[in-house]
Amino acid sequence: MQVLKFGGTSVGSSKNINKVISILESYSKKDRVACVVSAVGGITDKLLLAGEQAKQKDQTFKDTFNTILNIHLDIINDLNPKNSQVLLDYLDDKSTALKQLLEGIYLINELSPKTSDKLVSFGEKISSFIISETMKNRGLSVARKNTQELIITNSNYTKAEVDYQRTNANIQAYFKSTEEQITVLPGFISKSVQGEETTLGRGGSDFTAAIIAAALQVDQLDIWTDVSGMFTTNPKLVKQAYPIKTISYQEAMELSHFGAKVLYPPTVQPVLDLNIPIHIKNTNAPEDTGTIISNEETRTSNPVTGISNIGNIALLTLQGSGMVGIPGFSKRLFETLAQEKINVILITQASSEHSICLGIDAGDAERAKMAVDLIFENEIALHKIDPIIVETGLSIIALVGDNMKNHQGISGKMFSTLGKNNINIRAIAQGASEKNISAVIADKDVKKALNTLHEQFFEAKTKQLNVFITGVGNVGERLVEQIKQQRTYLKENLKINLRIIGLSNSRTMCFDEEGIDLKDWKTILANGPKASLDGFLQQVIDLNLRNSIFVDVTANEEVARLYPNYLRESIGVVACNKIACSSAMDTYALLKRLSLKYNAPFLFETNVGAGLPVIDTLNNLVASGDKITSIQAVLSGSLNFVFNHFNDTTRFYDVVKQAQAEGYTEPDPRIDLSGVDVARKILILARESGMDMNLEDIENNSFLSESGLHSDTVADFFQTLIEDEDHYQRLYAAAKAKHCRLKYVAQFHNAKASVGLQEIPEGHPFYNLEGKDNIVMFYTHRYPEQPMIIKGAGAGADVTASGLFADIIRLGNN
């Protein structure tokens, strides 16, 4: 004998029922088959909905009834175009009874658990009849047996307990008495000793099949569903989840207890004692291996077998100084909940005994509170304990694995992984057997938590980075293109899965939780909604993806002002924008603090020297214990361009215009020519060297003419360049007379910083600086005479973009 169970989706459409029939046909060639079926997918929910509507005196229960009827009619007609009379008569019969029941509920305005069981039983009765009759019509040897005549329970309606003695005897006797090759049986439904209709709990068809498998002592129980096995985690929430090949009964029980819906938790018990393996298979892909649940020990290097989640949890906290050291509180608490038939999913107790925390189904929370507050009425009145506290909107996530007990540091890894992603943990429980570690978190964090934990424990260390870029102008565009080009390389060589989730320019923005299609990003962005900085921030927060990184490629003050909001959500910030790091010392210090506190990296390598690794090198020197004594640098690609091109045959005005046209200056060239931009850069380097310094503290020896210095607009400024040509030519001539070249130099020495134009003699490392190159010389305790020198192109869209890219990768390796 073989026992197969098909779930709701497997029998959810005529197309799927045909698949089921062909699986049964092929299995029945080997041996006899007992086939347990669920109601047609979604029907149990609809029956309960109709009942609830009728109870609320809501006439729409009739619409729901009609929907239920039509779903079945369509399936019957589809499957049996010629030979449907017996089925239509049966359906007519059942639907008349169903309608009467719903009208009764409507009349008396009440839906008791007993009536509810009667109501939902229609689902499995009808589905099993349709399947067996259809198979008969196709000439197969089939019987149908109503399990209500076999499975006997107590009267605990909606989740009855099985009387195994009677049940096993019934099942064995029945299968002895029949000869049909296939028997179709409705799952989920049963009867009490008194003959009332009962059910085995939601999802209980799995349990029905296990009861039959155990009674008949078969070799294997097959659970056919809509996924290819028990997955490493909920496949609806984590795309990277994959089927577990083999798993122990204990692990399967733990996973299903904590929400892995693919198996109804009580299912394991009947087959466990007899060592009957459960095989989870996919009706849509019968050739897939699936999962085998058995006693066999499986040796894998991964101590974690699976991660599960269960939603709709309420956390109850009972606390009060009167509880300390006085026995009996827990006993009374649990007794009360047991009397109310409230299932406790998770328990934690602080060792001080000052509080007990319980996770239960949120649907039971109100009842639990009333009952518990009543039982502790006296203690509450005497202020020995507080009225019970109820929190909702919560979920439990659990790591499960038989082998976890032999490995240190799993819970540490679990909690630090969650913490790094800003997921707040409300309660923690670890079974003494160490087969599971569970945590209560907010519903909104579940998807992110499962994805991060799955990445941590199952994904061969591939790390997903979710990037949001604001400012896709010149540099931003290059960055997107570089990411597009390097995605495969990063995945294969660095195990980084880099995805752009959000993009924005000043006009529009766009988001795609699965990663924006980079082949087409410009069109997607152009067709997106109107851009807004707050809207962008909110979307990044709402998406709540792990390893989120905000990249600022603007020069906008408003964007920089939002960094704290990102960091506080544990979202990393990569800034090309210099404003934040060169604003008030307090702001810079705040950002550094937030970055540490919320474990959100804040990187801004491109603030100095574009793509050159200036800040990273400085950070490494400091981190390794070196001390910066002085910095000398040419940090302005634009000023270098200007002074490399300016001489007695060119006009200063023309050279500046050219630098602007080629994109080497800020949109407002005064920011470069006044030295402010260089001052900001040396300020950032000084701060990164450990100095507490502000922009006002930097001595700025400007080379501009008086009128240039005080011009009101960009146009005015350019006008002064024409008018003051002599002033600039004099600067050039003076340097030339000393065989020097003009370079705009930034210095940091003895806790003081300055910027200004200098005459650089031949032989000095700055003398031959070409084009738009930058150079930085670090003098440190370890580099006292020969400085560490970093030199290369210090401006340009491509190198700046690759500097940003490097920051993103750095963050990925963090």
Question: Are residues 466 and 514 in contact, defined by beta-carbon separation less than 8 angstroms?
Answer: no
Among ligand ASP, ligand ADP, Mg ion, none, what does residue 9 contact (CB within 5–8 Å per kind)?
A: ligand ADP
| Closest distance of CB 615 from ligand ASP, Å | 58
**Cβ of 76: how many Cβ atoms within 10 Å?**
22
Question: Are residues 86 and 14 in contact, defined by beta-carbon separation less than 8 angstroms?
Answer: no
Question: Are residues 132 and 73 in contact, defined by beta-carbon separation less than 8 angstroms?
Answer: no
- Residue 202 touching ligand ASP (CB under 6 A): yes
Residue 85 β-bridge partners: none
CA dihedral 198, 200, 204, 209 (to 10 degrees): -90
| Closest distance of CB 523 from ligand ASP, Å | 44
SS3 313: strand
Q: How far apart are CA 574 and CA 562, in angstroms?
A: 13
- Residue 233 touching ligand ADP (CB under 6 A): yes
Q: How many residues bind ligand ASP (CB under 6 A)?
A: 13
Query: Which positions from 33 through 52 interact with ligand ASP, judged by CB under 6 A?
Result: 38-39, 44
Q: Which two tokens stand for residue 451?
A: 């994805």
**Which DSSP string corresponds to 62-111?**
HHHHHHHHHHHHHHHHHH-SS--HHHHHHHHHHHHHHHHHHHHHHHHT--
Helix segments in 624-675, DSSP class H = 637-645, 652-661, 670-673
| Closest distance of CB 184 from Mg ion, Å | 18
Q: Which two tokens stand for residue 321?
A: 């100084």
Q: How far apart are CA 608 and CA 605, in angstroms?
A: 6
Per-residue burial over 517-555, b if 16 or more Cβ lie within 10 Å, else e, is ebeebeebbeebeebebeebbebbeebbbbbbbbbbbbb
Options 221-229, 490-498, 539-547, 725-733: segment touching ligand ADP (CB under 6 A)? 221-229
Is residue 681 part of the annotated active site? The answer reads yes
Residue with smaller CB distance to ligand ADP, 15 or 627: 15
Query: Which positions from 20 through 59 interact with ligand ADP, judged by CB under 6 A?
Result: 38
Instruction: Figure out which of the listed residues 12, 51, 186, 204 binds ligand ASP, where binding follows CB under 6 A.
Output: 204
- Residue 9 touching ligand ASP (CB under 6 A): no
Phi-psi region of 755 (alpha: psi -120 to 50; beta: other; left: phi over 0): beta
Q: How far apart are CA 668 and CA 757, in angstroms?
A: 20
Q: How far apart are CA 174 and CA 151, in angstroms?
A: 11
Residue among 166, 278, 298 nearest 224 (CA): 278
Give the pairing of strands 189-192 and 197-199. Answer: antiparallel
Q: How far apart are CA 549 and CA 573, in angstroms?
A: 6
Phi–psi pair at 270, nearest 5 degrees: -60, -35
Residue among 470, 472, 475 nearest 796 (CA): 475
Instruction: Figure out which of the listed residues 106, 188, 652, 728 binds ligand ASP, where binding follows CB under 6 A.
Output: 188
| Closest distance of CB 149 from ligand ADP, Å | 23
Among Mg ion, ligand ADP, ligand ASP, none, what does residue 811 contact (CB within 5–8 Å per kind)?
A: none
Show the site string, 273-312: x = touches ligand ADP by CB under 6 A, - = not: ---------------------------------x-x----
- Residue 260 touching ligand ASP (CB under 6 A): no
Residue among 131, 122, 125, 222 nearest 182 (CA): 131
Residue with smaller CB distance to ligand ASP, 189 or 244: 189
- Residue 208 touching ligand ADP (CB under 6 A): no
Q: How many residues bind ligand ADP (CB under 6 A)?
A: 21
| Closest distance of CB 7 from Mg ion, Å | 5
Q: How far apart are CA 182 and CA 273, in angstroms?
A: 26
Options 222-230, 296-304, 332-340, 383-391: segment touching ligand ADP (CB under 6 A)? 222-230
Among Mg ion, ligand ASP, ligand ADP, none, what does residue 260 contact (CB within 5–8 Å per kind)?
A: ligand ADP
> Residue 527 contacts by C-beta under 8 Å, 6 or more apart in sequence?
508, 510
Q: How far apart are CA 452 and CA 471, in angstroms?
A: 28
Residue 613 is inside which H or E element, if any?
Answer: none
Residue among 660, 676, 650, 658 nearest 742 (CA): 650
- Residue 8 touching ligand ADP (CB under 6 A): yes
Instruction: Figure out which of the listed residues 187, 235, 266, 708 binds ligand ASP, where binding follows CB under 6 A.
Output: 187
Residue with smaller CB distance to ligand ADP, 160 or 446: 446
- Residue 230 touching ligand ADP (CB under 6 A): yes
| Closest distance of CB 100 from ligand ASP, Å | 21
- Residue 203 touching Mg ion (CB under 5 A): yes
Residue with smaller CB distance to ligand ASP, 123 or 611: 123
Options 198-206, 349-357, 442-450, 647-655: segment touching ligand ASP (CB under 6 A)? 198-206
Site of tokens 């006797």: 173
| Closest distance of CB 133 from ligand ASP, Å | 19
Q: How far apart are CA 44 and CA 581, in angstroms?
A: 59
**Cβ of 135: how many Cβ atoms within 10 Å?**
23
Options 160-168, 196-204, 372-380, 399-407: segment touching Mg ion (CB under 5 A)? 196-204
- Residue 9 touching ligand ADP (CB under 6 A): yes
Options 73-81, 146-154, 200-208, 678-686: segment touching ligand ASP (CB under 6 A)? 200-208
- Residue 572 touching ligand ASP (CB under 6 A): no
| Closest distance of CB 256 from ligand ASP, Å | 12
Cα dist from 14 to 18, 34, 183, 283, whole Å = 6, 21, 19, 13
- Residue 225 touching ligand ADP (CB under 6 A): yes
Question: Are residues 459 and 428 in contact, defined by beta-carbon separation less than 8 angstroms?
Answer: no
Question: Are residues 681 and 670 in contact, defined by beta-carbon separation less than 8 angstroms?
Answer: no
Residue with smaller CB distance to ligand ASP, 210 or 429: 210
Among Mg ion, ligand ADP, ligand ASP, none, what does residue 539 contact (CB within 5–8 Å per kind)?
A: none
| Closest distance of CB 175 from ligand ADP, Å | 23
Residue with smaller CB distance to ligand ADP, 244 or 465: 244
Query: Which positions from 257 through 276 interact with ligand ADP, judged by CB under 6 A?
Result: 260-262
| Closest distance of CB 207 from Mg ion, Å | 10
Q: Which two tokens stand for residue 205?
A: 């068809």
Gyration radius (Cα) of the chain, Å: 36
Show the site string, 205-244: x = touches ligand ASP by CB under 6 A, - = not: xx--------------------------------------
- Residue 123 touching Mg ion (CB under 5 A): no
Question: Are residues 616 and 605 in contact, defined by beta-carbon separation less than 8 angstroms?
Answer: yes
Q: How many residues bind Mg ion (CB under 5 A)?
A: 2
SS3 148: helix
Instruction: Figure out which of the listed residues 234, 248, 539, 638 binds ligand ADP, where binding follows CB under 6 A.
Output: 234
The active-site residue, picked from 5, 125, 448, 681, is: 681
Shortest-Cβ-distance residue relative to ligand ADP: 7
DSSP 493: I
Show the site string, 123-162: x = touches ligand ASP by CB under 6 A, - = not: x---------------------------------------
- Residue 265 touching ligand ASP (CB under 6 A): no
Site of tokens 């082998």: 403
- Residue 187 touching Mg ion (CB under 5 A): no
Among Mg ion, ligand ADP, ligand ASP, none, what does residue 123 contact (CB within 5–8 Å per kind)?
A: ligand ASP
Residue among 86, 122, 87, 82 nearest 102 (CA): 122
Q: How far apart are CA 345 and CA 311, in angstroms?
A: 11
| Positions marked active-site | 681
Which residues of the shown chain bind ligand ASP in the complex (CB under 6 A)? 7-8, 38-39, 44, 123, 187-188, 202-206
Residues of this chain that bind Mg ion (CB under 5 A): 7, 203
Note the residues at the interface with ligand ADP (CB under 6 A): 7-10, 38, 203, 225-227, 230-231, 233-236, 255, 260-262, 306, 308
